[in-house]
Structure 1
Amino acid sequence: MGARNLMSHAITVDDLPPSFAEFVRGQGRARGLDDPLPAVTHGLRTDEETMNRESRGGPTSDRYVVEMLLTPDLLIVAHRQSDDAETDPGARVRFHRLEQLEVATDTGSAKAATARLAMPAKSIPVTSTPLGGMKRATYQLPIAIDPDVQRFRDALVAAVDAARA
């Protein structure tokens, strides 16, 4: 694998391509949810581009998009390779109930702070059983270093705390 480029920025529901927004709604209906998109309070999009070296024909690149949408009850995580869900057979959406979600936080130790300075985090680890899932798992949600990321992380932790209260 070659170079990996991550870019993250805040989004709103209106920033979702219409066909993908409908895909999210349809996946929600399949899991017994009313349309979750009107309740979204925060959103974060991470674009990942991976450059691969090929022995013949030159380099190639793969593009992946992860959108995280936060509502007062859910974390919605959508993965895709294109803006059109109908042409992306790998597109998937997971819905996580906030009261069941665990968000990894820093320990605050000097050792952890040193490690963060040496190697910036490239993910938000969350542990959950997604709706319709059979087992609890930890998901590494990719992120870049950006002020929008910290705002989203803070909103996610506050929403998880509020859902458990």
Structure 2
Amino acid sequence: MGARNLMSHAIVVDDLPPSVAEFVRGEGRARGLMDPLPAVTHGLRTEEETMNRESRGGPTSDRFVVEMLLTPELLIVAHRQSDDAETDPGARVRFHRLDQVGLVDAGSEKAATARLAMPAKSIPVTSTPLGGAKRATYQLPIAIDPDVQRFRDALTAAVEQARV
């Protein structure tokens, strides 16, 4: 793999491409949820582009987009490789109930180990997504940006509130 460009910035629901918004709604309906988008309080988009060196035909690039949307009850994570979810067969959405989400405490020994493994490039979230069979830890990619810390703070507060 060659160069990697990672950018994160805050978003609102209206920033979602229409096909992505409909994809989130449809996947939510499939899991018995009402439209979760009107309840979104915070959003963060991370775009990652990697340049790969090819031996023949020149370099190629891959683009990945992850949107994290926070509601008072859910963390919604949408992954795709293009701006149009309809044209990406690998597009997926996971819905995590906040009262079941585990976040690594930034001051803990476990967090220090996680930072060594994934230094400031992800938000580790442990959860069983709706419709999922087992609990897993997901490394949500991020770049270093003030919007990331605001989203992380909002997510931490929402998870704590959901457990009360």
TM-score by length of 2: 0.94
The residue identity in structure 2 corresponding to 1:8 is S
CA distance in 2, matches of 1:164, 1:99: 5
Shift of 1:105: 2.2
CA distance in 2, matches of 1:98, 1:156: 9
Q: Indicate the residue corresponding to 1:98 in structure 2.
A: 98
CA distance in 2, matches of 1:17, 1:46: 14
Q: Indicate the residue corresponding to 1:85 in structure 2.
A: 85
The residue identity in structure 2 corresponding to 1:51 is M
Shift of 1:82: 1.1
1:129 and 2:128 aligned: yes
1:143 and 2:132 aligned: no
Instruction: Give unmatched runs, 5+ long, in structure 2.
Output: none
In structure 2, the CA distance between the partners of 1:108 and 1:130, relative to structure 1 (3 Å rule), is closer
TM-score by length of 1: 0.93
Deviating above 3 A after TM superposition, structure 1's stretches of 4 or more consecutive aligned residues are none
In structure 2, the CA distance between the partners of 1:79 and 1:116, relative to structure 1 (3 Å rule), is closer
The residue identity in structure 1 corresponding to 2:130 is L
In structure 2, the CA distance between the partners of 1:164 and 1:141, relative to structure 1 (3 Å rule), is same
DSSP 3-state at the match of 2:155:
helix
- Alpha-carbon contact 1:96-1:128 (below 8 Å) kept: yes
CA RMSD of aligned residues (A): 1.9
Shift of 1:116: 6.2
CA distance in 1, matches of 2:119, 2:141: 12
Question: Aligned residues, how many?
Answer: 162
Q: Indicate the residue corresponding to 1:50 in structure 2.
A: 50
DSSP 3-state at the match of 2:105:
coil
State the Cα deviation string for residues 72-100 of structure 1 (Å, max 9, x = none): 00000000011111111000000000000
CA distance in 1, matches of 2:163, 2:88: 35
In structure 2, the CA distance between the partners of 1:11 and 1:124, relative to structure 1 (3 Å rule), is same
Shift of 1:142: 0.1
Instruction: Give unmatched runs, 5+ long, in structure 1.
Output: none
DSSP 3-state at the match of 1:131:
coil
The residue identity in structure 1 corresponding to 2:58 is G
Q: Indicate the residue corresponding to 1:70 in structure 2.
A: 70
Q: Indicate the residue corresponding to 1:6 in structure 2.
A: 6
